[in-house]
Structure 1
Amino acid sequence: MTATMNPAAPHNLPIFITAPGGTDVLMVVTAVFLVLAVLAVGLLFLRLHTLPERIAHRGHKLQFEIVAVLGLLALFTHMHIFWVAGLLLALIDIPDFGGTFNRIAGSLEKIAGIPPGEGAGVALDETSAGLPVEEPTNRPAEVPPTVTPSRIPKERIHA
């Protein structure tokens, strides 16, 4: 049996019309394009979604972990406010108070005569006002003097 062309069909058929039993090239090209487009859009979404985390990581920010958690919350809850908060937090430079406080602590250790870095190991008593606690001895405790009205200045009584 010979395949004859229908007399109503045009003689010049477009390229995307295939013969019976042939491969539909247009459908294959469209399917490959669709798969690549979906992958590209997904990759773009994930790159945009991790933007705050990459900014915080690149800038060696102290709040990097907080930005990463906000990004995960935004991804799993679909609440964009977490992403916006993470982006703002990644763009803001939080001052490093640790370095300043370490310098203050080092100066106080030098004033107190404690070797540098040894001040954290000294136990403090709440009544000693920051002075190192001495080892207890076996002597009787001192009894504080009692305060009587005669020992209080008159200015403090009438105030």
Structure 2
Amino acid sequence: MTETLHPNAPHHLPAFITAPGDTDIFMVVVGLVLIGAVMTVGNLYLRLHSMPERMAHKSRKLQFEIVAVLGLISLFTHNHLFWVIGLLLAMVDLPDFGTPLRSIAGSVRTIAGVEQSADPPDPTDHDADRPVNAQRQTGAEGGAQGHA
């Protein structure tokens, strides 16, 4: 069976037009390029979106969790204000109030004559409170006996 062109069809067809039943190579190539482009743009978007979180994590900021939550909120709500706030918070160094306060507390313990333990008690360990309370009661009784 010989195929004949329709009389109204052009005699010189472009190379991307295929015969009926043949594989359309151009469509396959365009599909693969489209999938690759979507994956690349999605990867770049997610990398850009997680930039504040990576900045805060790399510099070991105290506010890392807040920046991470702001990034998730902005991802799910598409509200870019949360991303901008997270980015600014990741760039700002919050002052460390904990270290000087621990130093002051240690100095006050030394002045008060209370023994400092090498490791601070674990706040989740409920047995750690018993020796501290026992020391306070002993110190209170000793102080009362010394003044009597």
**TM-score band (shorter)?**
0.7 to 0.9
Residue by residue over 1:118-156, the C-alpha shift from the partner in whole angstroms, topping out at 9 and shown as x without a partner, is 998656xxxxxxxx9725xxxxxxxxxxxxxxxxxxxxx
Partners in 2 of 1:71 and 1:32 — Cα distance?
Answer: 31
Q: Which residue of 2 aligns with 1:9?
A: 10
What is the DSSP-based 3-state SS (H/G/I as helix, E as strand, rest coil) of the residue aligned with 2:140?
Answer: coil
Partners in 2 of 1:40 and 1:48 — Cα distance?
Answer: 12
Residue by residue over 1:19-66, the C-alpha shift from the partner in whole angstroms, topping out at 9 and shown as x without a partner, is 221111111111111111112111111111111111111111100001
- Whichever residue aligns with residue 60 of structure 2, its letter is H
Native 8 Å contact 1:106 1:117 kept in 2: no
Superposition CA RMSD, Å: 2.4
Segments of structure 2 that go 5 or more residues without pairing to the other structure are 122-128, 142-148
Residue 134 in structure 1 maps to residue 140 in structure 2: yes
Residue 38 in structure 1 maps to residue 38 in structure 2: yes
Structure 1 residue 82, shift from structure 2 partner: 0.8
Partners in 1 of 2:95 and 2:15 — Cα distance?
Answer: 66
Q: Which residue of 2 aligns with 1:18?
A: 18
Partners in 2 of 1:6 and 1:77 — Cα distance?
Answer: 56
Within a 5 Å distance, the mapping from 1:1-159 to structure 2 comes to 1-6=1-6, 9-11=10-12, 13-117=13-117, 134-135=140-141
Native 8 Å contact 1:110 1:116 kept in 2: yes
Q: Quick check: which has more Rg, 1 or 2?
A: 1
Partners in 1 of 2:11 and 2:22 — Cα distance?
Answer: 20
What is the DSSP-based 3-state SS (H/G/I as helix, E as strand, rest coil) of the residue aligned with 2:16?
Answer: coil
Partners in 2 of 1:5 and 1:25 — Cα distance?
Answer: 22
What is the DSSP-based 3-state SS (H/G/I as helix, E as strand, rest coil) of the residue aligned with 1:134?
Answer: helix
Q: How many residues align?
A: 126
Provide the identity percentage: 58
TM-score, normalised to structure 2's length?
0.74
TM-score, normalised to structure 1's length?
0.69
Partners in 2 of 1:133 and 1:33 — Cα distance?
Answer: 78
Structure 1 residue 9, shift from structure 2 partner: 2.5
Partners in 1 of 2:29 and 2:107 — Cα distance?
Answer: 72
- Whichever residue aligns with residue 80 of structure 1, its letter is H
- Whichever residue aligns with residue 85 of structure 1, its letter is I
